[in-house]
Amino acid sequence: MNLDIRFDFQRRERIGLIEAIWGADKSIDQLKRVSDEVLEKKEVVFITRIDKEKAKNLMDIYEDAKFYEEANCLIIGQNFNKYSSNKKVAIISGGSSDLAVTLEAKLSLEIYGVRCQSFIDVGVAGLHRLLSQLDEINKYDVLIVCAGMEGALATVVGGLIGSAVGSEIGSSITKKEGIELLIKTDSNNYISIIQEESDFSYNIGQKVRIIKRNGKSRVIPFE
C-alpha cells in the first residue's frame, strides 16, 4: 500500500477528470508506486513537471510511456473515459517563456478529449498581435491565459473580451454605435474604455487624455 501518496480516485466521480500527478518533488520510486496504483484501476497516468531523467527511468519501466519534453509531461496508458463536452477552449500565451505551461495545458485538455486551440506569442509587449487575433479568440467558450513574464496579459484579455461582450449587449439595448479603446497609461498599466463614436479618430500609439465626470470616463485626443 502506498502510504506516503494518497491518489484522489474519487475525483473522476466528482468532476469527471482523473487527478494529475505532480512529478517535480517525487522520487522515481514514488512515481512508480503511484503509477502502478493508477494503472491497476484502468486509469491513465498523467505526470506533470517531470524532468528528462525521471521520464527516461519511467519509460524504461513502462513500454507505453510517452514523454512530452517541451511540456515537461509524461503519459502512461490511455484515457478510456474522456470528458464529454462541446465547449471550445483557447489557450493564450504571452511568449516563448510561457511555452511549457501552454503545452502542458493543451496536453491536459487533449487527454480528456476537450477541443482546444493555442494562440502563441500574443503578449502585451506587441499588443497588435493580440488585437489581430481577437475576433478568432472571441469564438471560444473558455480562455486560459498563460503569462509569467507578462502578468498583465490576463487582465488585458479579460478587459478586451469582457468589454466586447458588454459592448454587444449595450449596443443591442441602446442601438448606438460604440468604440473600444485599449489605453496604456504612464504607469505602464492597461485600461479598456468603451464610449460612443464621435468625430475624433484614434491611431495606435496616439497620446490621449482621459476625462472623468460623474463616475464615467471618456477619452479625447491629447492636445
The owner of cell 502510504 is 3
Q: How far apart are CA 133 and CA 93, in angstroms?
A: 12
How many Å from the N-terminal Cα to the C-terminal Cα in the chain?
74
Q: For residue 164, what pLDDT is reported?
A: 47
**160-167 average pLDDT score:** 55
C-alpha pair distances (Å), 43 with each of 10, 58, 156, 160: 12, 17, 38, 39
* pTM confidence score: 0.68
DSSP string, 166-199: HHHHHHHHH---EEEEEEE-TTS-EEEEEEE--S
Which is more confidently placed, 23 or 187?
23
Q: Which residue has the cell 484501476?
A: 41
Average pLDDT along the chain: 83
* pLDDT value of residue 151: 67
The pLDDT, as a whole number, for residue 147 is 81
Question: Cβ atoms within 10 A of the Cβ of 140, count?
Answer: 19
78 pLDDT band, cuts 50/70/90, is confident
pLDDT attached to residue 3: 54
The arrangement of strands across the sheet holding 115-119 comes to: 115-119, 88-93, 142-146
For the cut 60, the answer to whether the pLDDT of residue 134 exceeds it is yes
**CA pseudo-torsion sign 11, 15, 16, 21:** negative
At which residue does the C-alpha cell 442601438 appear? 175
Instruction: Tell me the β-bridge partners of 210.
Output: 219
Q: Mean pLDDT over residues 13-41, rounded?
A: 92
